[in-house]
Each structure stands twice: as C-alpha cells, then as structure tokens.
Amino acid sequence: MMLIVFVAWCMLLGVLFVAACLWGLRRMTRGLAREAEAQLPPCGSFIDTSGGRLHYIDVGQGPPLVMIHGLGGQLQHFTYALAEALGNDFRVIAIDRPGSGYSDPTDDRCAHLACQAQALHEAWQALGVERPLVVGHSMGGAVALTLALEYPEEVAGLALLAPLVAQVSDVPPAMRLLAIRSPRRRRWMAETLAIPLTRVTSRQALAQVFAPEAVPADYATRGGGCLALRPQAFHAASTDLAMLEHELPRQVPRYAALEVPIGVMFGAHDRILEPTLHIETLQRQYPDMFVHVEPEAGHMLPIMRPQATAAFIRRMAARAWPSSLNS
C-alpha cells in the first residue's frame, strides 16, 4: 500500500512539474511578445478583406507596385530600404500577408495560396489600385504567381525576388523548427516552446538566411526581425510551410498558362532556395521570362541589395507598362 501511495505521489508531482513548466513557458512567450510589440508597433494602416484585416504601407506616387514578403517575414523587409529607393517613381504598397506581421491571425483554410492571393487582391482593389506590378520575395513569389494565375487581367507583371517556385526536397535548416504538420501541435508549440527556442536559436537561423552576407545590426527593429518573437508569427509561418507541401505541386503545372511579363532575380549564393531549381522550373514553362543573377548575393535581396533590386524592378516595370513609362 505504501508503495502505491508513493508512486501516486510521484506521478502527481510529475504532473505538477510539467504544468508549472508549461505555465512558465506560456508566461515567457507572452512577455517576449509584449516586448516585441512595444519595441516595434504597427507602422502602417489596416484594411479589411475576406482573409481578415491586413496591415499595409502605401507610399510614393506613380505606377503601382504591390510587394509580398516571404515565409516568416513582414512588410518591413521592404521598408528597410527598397520602398525608399522606388518611392520617387512608383506607388509602393507593401502588405503583411494574412497571419504575418500585424495582419490578423490566420488558420489552415486561409493559409492556402488562393486564399492569400484573394485577400491581397481585395486589399489593392479597395485601395483603388489597378493592374500593379506584383513584387514577391521568397514565398511571396509563390503568392505572386498565384495572383497572376487567378487574376491574369489584373496583374501587369511579376518581379520575383529569390522566389519559391517549385517544391523543395528538404526544409532549409534555418526553418526546421517550423516544420510541424499537425495543426494542434503547431498551436501548442506557438504558445509554449517555440518563442523561447526562437530567441535562443535566432542568431544562428538568421545567419543562414542572410548568408553569405552578415545580418544587419539593425535588422531586429528596422527590418522587423523582433516580430518573430510572437506566437502569431510562428504559427503563421509554420502553417504556411505545411500548406506549401501540398499547394506547390498543384501549382507548378499551371505555370504554362501565365500570360504576364515575368522576371526572376536570385542571389548567386542563396542558401535558402537553390537558384537553378526555381529558375529552371519556371523557365521550362515560361521561356520568355527575364532572369538576373546577382553576383555574391544571398537570399535577402530586398534588404542587402536594395539598389540592384530596385534596378531589376524598374526593368520589369518597363516591360509591364512599356507605353506609360516610355512616354
């Protein structure tokens, strides 16, 4: 009998210990999220769509550019330097994708490429934008391609920066913490372990994302990096990653139907997406696209190579609106 009581007490203490750890992790997660939001509040405006309320910035005047960030990112990847480089000649609209940045949290249904594209399309329509050149970085490239497929008459062209075009065989090491297929486990991780782990591993992960170049010292604030320390950010990025596993194989065969001017820019030393795979996958079905490979550059072109990226976008704008820009 005493042995049974002892075992029961041990089990109870174990349960209490686990509960205390989870409570501590949740408290730490909420504290880190509050610190990030206090350090970097919303910098733009909000607009309602079927995919929830989206956070965006709208600067400059001229032909419209709609900019879509990548996995785990937010619009400050574009406001870091690129929006300023283009704002004198273009109307630049950068949007936090559904679930990302300060846009409303999303779920598995709203994460689908077509749903994200619909929300972004609704946003630019509500802002009075007609036929923008869509600029997509990394996973934002996959969303940009979806927009051109779903709304071919309403997209002037695509300027794709290190775009995710094809299904990859393995998740890059910097993103393996996000690789969770179960929706329930994703939510649990976001509220407990993920954010403390992100804080510990972020320096190494960012070094891989920016390689071979160094992470800018002001990336946490000016580049929006500290917003990754929020449960919503982890959940959205993990959900996007799980969604892409099923969505990209269905989208790739549709590229032959693309009818808008397309350009692709990659860094020669990108360590997140292999340039040849993604360039050739799209080029096989769209042989007329423009390709620019930037020497010595990595994955984070909008931040690390804003002038070269702006020149590439200007070249694609000339293809998208040849009469208006040359007049």
Query: Strand pairing of 91-95 and 52-59?
Result: antiparallel
pLDDT tens-digit readout, 267-314: 999 999 999 999 999 999 999 999 999 999 999 999 999 999 999 999
Peptide bond into 295 cis (omega under 30): no
On whether residue 9 sits in a domain, the answer given is no
pLDDT number for residue 5 = 52
Q: What percent of the chain has pLDDT over 70?
A: 91
Q: Is pLDDT at 17 greater than 70 in this prediction?
A: no
- What percent of the chain lies above the pLDDT cut of 90? 72
CATH of the domain at 287: 3.40.50.1820
Q: Give domain status of residue 207, yes or no.
A: no
Q: Is the pLDDT of residue 168 over 70?
A: yes
What single DSSP character describes residue 101?
T
Residue 118 has pLDDT above 90, yes or no: yes
For the chain, how many residues are written?
A: 327
pLDDT number for residue 170: 85
Structural domain containing residue 122: 42-171+247-320
Within-domain flag for 275: yes
Is 2 within the bounds of a domain? Answer: no
DSSP for 285-325?
Answer: H-TT-EEEEETT--S-HHHH-HHHHHHHHHHHHHHHSHHHH
Amino acid found at 312: F
Residue type, 192: T
What pLDDT shows up at residue 194?
82
7 vs 71 pLDDT, higher one: 71
CB 282 within 8 A of CB 226: no
Q: What is the mean pLDDT of the chain?
A: 90
How many domains are contained in the chain? 1
Asked whether residue 116 is domain-assigned, the answer is yes
* Higher local confidence (pLDDT), 239 or 16: 239
ω into residue 212 within 30 of 0, thus cis? yes
For residue 183, tell me if it sits in a domain. no
Q: Say if residue 23's pLDDT is above 70.
A: no
pLDDT in tens, 123-136: 999 999 999 999 99
In a domain, 82, yes or no: yes
Residue 311 forms part of a structural domain: yes
